[in-house]
Amino acid sequence: MADILGGLAGVGFGITVALVVINETPGALASPGGWLTAAGRLTGFLGSYLMLMMVFLIARIPWLERAVGQDQLIRWHRRIGGWPIVLIALHVVFVTLGYAKIDRVGPVRQLGIFLTHYPDMLASLVAFALLVMVGITSWRIVRQRQPYENWWVVHLYTYLALALAFAHQVVTGLAFLHHPLPKGFWIAVWAAAALSVLAFRVTLPIIRNARYRLEVVSVHEEAPGVFSIVCSGQKLSHLAVSGGQFFQWRFLTRGLWWQAHPYSLSAMPNPPHIRVTVKDLGDHSGSVARLKPGTRVFVEGPYGTFTHHVRATNRVVLIGAGVGVTPLRAILEDLPTSVEVSVIVRSSNEEDLIHRDEITALAARRGGTLHELVGSRHQVKLDAAALKRLVPSIATCDVYVCGPAAFTDHVTASVARAGVRPERIHTEVFAF
């Protein structure tokens, strides 16, 4: 799927370059400022195209979410990251310098001419400023120093920036002047992106939540600092979700209603109930322990491909630590009975073994094996030799790993060394 999407994105990139190149002539390039304005048009179009890709990647388009998984889509979105902003900044610089040469004025004077004599320029300048602000706050060093919610709110301004810049692209883009077909095509793809966001990030969740009407029923402590939130809802038997998937949860109470956080189901829905288990790691995850019964809940999802559907074999090993065992517990419940399963849970002490009784019962019910490894990292090693001792057939299994980032990295490397093929190692990382 990644190859197909990469191919499609490449074709789109080619079309975008072609839209610019076919409108250039040797005469125009040789004229004063010709090369600069051509470079400005190319960087502008490419920046805009990459922006479009970024919007599609995070539009929550259901088939894309199912085929690729939200974590991968967000990783691609991030990898494209600063490029559109750099390209659009170059567009501003090249076009200003190019037109300054044509008009025989300085760049600052030229900027003034743009703002006063060209349509939609002020809006696009505001759009550019907003994009720069989003780019700076998304830069890793800056992002890590601020609460996630700040970054998220600033990120929303991207949509405003795109809306403000759109008219400028369509009205002044040389590739569109007297060319209704490319113009129609460009408007259609941008409209598709906007409609996808509206449909899948706004309308669909509203419809689903009006149908399910979730509210908190109870909150209880599973382990120190780890709480299960049980919600009740209507028509949950129609909820198509697999064990291992997550939702974005928005608890409609003071201070929390405006932020959505991803939490995986820690059990398959048991209508009218649905449950997540949350470890207190910050503002939001720490507040859920104080949720009152009756609090309305708004969810988006389900998302994620960390499910039994991606396995290639009928032998599965689930390896988890900390709150990472929660999606594994749901997968264990969701696995078809024909699948042989071994579960390995790792913890520093017994009281931190989350959902211990449930995992023991689920593993026993299907004749699976359960290994609880309790002790410090030095006492309990999870290297390739240890894994082979615990599950001698591991090389022929699908292995699911979820836990703290360092644990997941270490275990994934050990699993690979134990002979498991990369495509059979499935991980969920609790951070985007």
Ligand X SMILES: Cc1cc2nc3c(=O)[nH]c(=O)nc-3n(C[C@H](O)[C@H](O)[C@H](O)COP(=O)(O)OP(=O)(O)OC[C@H]3O[C@@H](n4cnc5c(N)ncnc54)[C@H](O)[C@@H]3O)c2cc1C
Q: Coil, strand or helix: which one is 367?
A: coil
**DSSP structural state of residue 201:** I
Of 279, 311, 356, 410, the residue at the interface with ligand X (CB under 6 A) is 279
Question: Of the two residues 173 and 320, which places its CB atom closer to ligand X in the complex?
Answer: 320
Write the interaction track for ligand X spanning residues 120-139; mark x where CB under 6 A is met and - where it is not.
--------------------
Q: Which is nearer to ligand X, 47 or 302 (CB)?
A: 302
Residues 6+ apart with CB under 8 A from 213: 233, 234, 296
Is residue 114 helix, strand or coil? helix
CB of 265 to ligand X, least distance (A): 8
Residue 394's identity, in one-letter code, is I
- Could you tell me which residues are beta bridge partners of residue 279? 226
The answer to whether 302 and 242 have CB atoms below 8 angstroms apart is yes
Q: How far is the CB of 296 from ligand X (least distance, A)?
A: 19
Considering the complex, what minimum distance in angstroms separates the CB of residue 191 from ligand X?
28
Per-residue contact flags (x/-) with ligand X for residues 393 to 432, judged by CB under 6 A = -------------------------------------xxx
Shortest Cβ 264–ligand X spacing (Å) = 4
Interatomic CA distance for residues 246 and 259, integer angstroms: 16
* Binders of ligand X in range 234-263 (CB under 6 A): 246, 261-263
* Phi, psi torsion values for 219, nearest 5 degrees: -130, 125
332-355 per-residue burial string, b: 16 or more CB within 10 A, e: under 16: bbbbeeebbbbbbbbbeeeebbbb
Q: Are 390 and 342 in contact (CB under 8 A)?
A: yes
Among 242, 286, 281, which residue's Cα sits nearest to residue 264? 242
Q: How far is the CB of 11 from ligand X (least distance, A)?
A: 31
Q: How far is the CB of 214 from ligand X (least distance, A)?
A: 16
Mark the segment that binds ligand X (CB under 6 A) among 108-116, 279-287, 359-367, 417-425. Answer: 279-287
Q: Is 406 helix (H, G, I), strand (E, B) or coil?
A: helix
The neighbour count for residue 94, using CB atoms within 10 Å, is: 21
Residues 384/414, Cβ–Cβ less than 8 Å? yes
> Any bridge partners for residue 300, and if so which?
248
CB 278 within 8 A of CB 266: no
CB of 1 to ligand X, least distance (A): 19
Q: In the complex, what is the shortest distance from the CB of residue 288 to ligand X, in angstroms, rounded to a whole number? A: 8
CA-nearest of 158, 111, 115 to 133 is 158
Q: Which of 52, 68, 130, 278 binds ligand X (CB under 6 A)?
A: 278
Among 24, 120, 215, 283, binds ligand X (CB under 6 A): 283
Nearer to ligand X (CB atom), residue 261 or residue 346: 261
Task: Map the footprint of ligand X across residues 323-352, applying CB under 6 A.
Answer: 323, 326
Return the number of the residue (78 or 371) whose C-beta is nearest ligand X.
78
Total binding residues for ligand X by CB under 6 A? Answer: 23
| Minimum CB distance to ligand X smaller for 37 or for 305 | 305
Is the Cβ of residue 159 or residue 432 nearer to ligand X in the bound state? 432
User: Contact between 147 and ligand X (CB under 6 A)?
Assistant: yes
The distance of closest approach from Cβ of residue 5 to ligand X in the complex, given in angstroms and rounded to an integer, is 20
Span of 52-60, 96-104, 186-194, 271-279 interacting with ligand X by CB under 6 A:
271-279
| Cα–Cα distance list, 396 to 5, 277, 346 (Å) | 30, 31, 22
Mutual orientation of helices 83-103 and 121-138 as an angle, nearest 10°?
Answer: 140
User: Among residues 279 and 346, whose Cβ is nearest to ligand X?
Assistant: 279
Coil, helix or strand at residue 369: strand
277 vs 46, 156, 220, CA distance in Å? 43, 28, 9
Binding letters toward ligand X, positions 285-324, x by CB under 6 A: xx-----------------x------------------x-
State the first-to-last Cα distance of the chain, in angstroms, to the nearest integer. Answer: 21
Supply 132's token pair: 């720069």
When CB distances to ligand X are compared, the closest residue is: 282
Q: CB of 279: closest distance to ligand X in angstroms? A: 4
**Under the rule (CB under 6 A), what is the footprint of ligand X?**
147-148, 246, 261-264, 276-279, 281-286, 304, 323, 326, 430-432
